[in-house]
Amino acid sequence: MIRLPPHRPGMRIGLYGGSFDPPHAGHRHVAETALRRLDLDRVWWIVTPGNPLKERHPASLPERLAAMRAMVRHPAMEITDIDSAIGSRYTIDTIRYLVRRCPGVRFVWVMGADSLAGFHRWRDWRAIARLVPIAVVDRPGYTLGALHSRMARTFAAKRRPGGAAARVFASSRAPAWVFLIGRRSNLSSTALRDKSSKVGSMR
């Protein structure tokens, strides 16, 4: 059995999965927004060995974990390799595993607006939505696509308010989702990779 970060029944824990190739301040913004606005006790970052929908192979897992540990220094945030430790490629499998392993913990899946826009392409996406509440942090360029996505339309009646009421969102019964609007970040890993390859080619 793999070792999980400390947890106990009743805790509200955000699960924030990603490629993080490389991690950037936009990722930190998402995790901090979820932590604060949903009044979470913890955010567990879950570094995927590889997004099943992306063809490009990311940097090695140890490299990405090291970069994230250097960037994320917050007592309520845990950087984990849960996906690879349990051999999961798909989010549904990771969430099922965690829900079974941690009875009484209130998990919330956390993601950016671009992920909501394409969520209906994820394996068993409806099952994910029925298993845990989902919090979505807005991202420039993706607001409309997210709010008109198949997931948003399918579960339109299950959308919860994102204002002060979001503080109790983690106790919602799934399916439930919230769209957190506010300060936004336009950073992306693609832009950072492009920039570093340009700098490299100028040397």
Ligand X SMILES: Nc1ncnc2c1ncn2[C@@H]1O[C@H](COP(=O)(O)OP(=O)(O)OP(=O)(O)O)[C@@H](O)[C@H]1O
Ligand Y SMILES: O=C(O)c1ccc[n+]([C@@H]2O[C@H](COP(=O)([O-])O)[C@@H](O)[C@H]2O)c1
Summarize as ranges the residues that interact with ligand X (CB under 6 A). 18-21, 26-27, 30, 111-112, 114-115, 137, 139, 185, 187-190
Using CB under 6 A, count the residues that bind ligand Y: 15
The one-letter amino acid at 132: V
Residues paired with 47 in a beta bridge: 18
Least spacing, CB of residue 104 vs ligand Y, in Å:
23
Per-residue x/- marks for ligand Y, 77-96, CB under 6 A?
-------------xxx----
Q: Write out the binding residues for ligand Y, residues 20-79 only, by CB under 6 A.
A: 46, 48, 51-54
Order the strands of the 12-18 sheet from edge to edge.
77-80, 42-47, 12-18, 106-112, 134-137, 177-180, 159-160
Give the CB-side neighbour count of residue 7, counting CA atoms within 13 A.
Answer: 25
Q: What is the signed CA dihedral for 83, 89, 93, 99, rounded to 10 degrees? A: 20
Q: Give which of ligand Y, ligand X, none residue 30 binds (C-beta under 5 to 8 Å, depending on kind).
A: ligand X
Binding partner at 123 among ligand X, ligand Y, none, C-beta below 5 to 8 Å by kind = ligand Y
Q: Which does 175 bind (CB under 5 to 8 A by kind): ligand Y, ligand X, none?
A: none
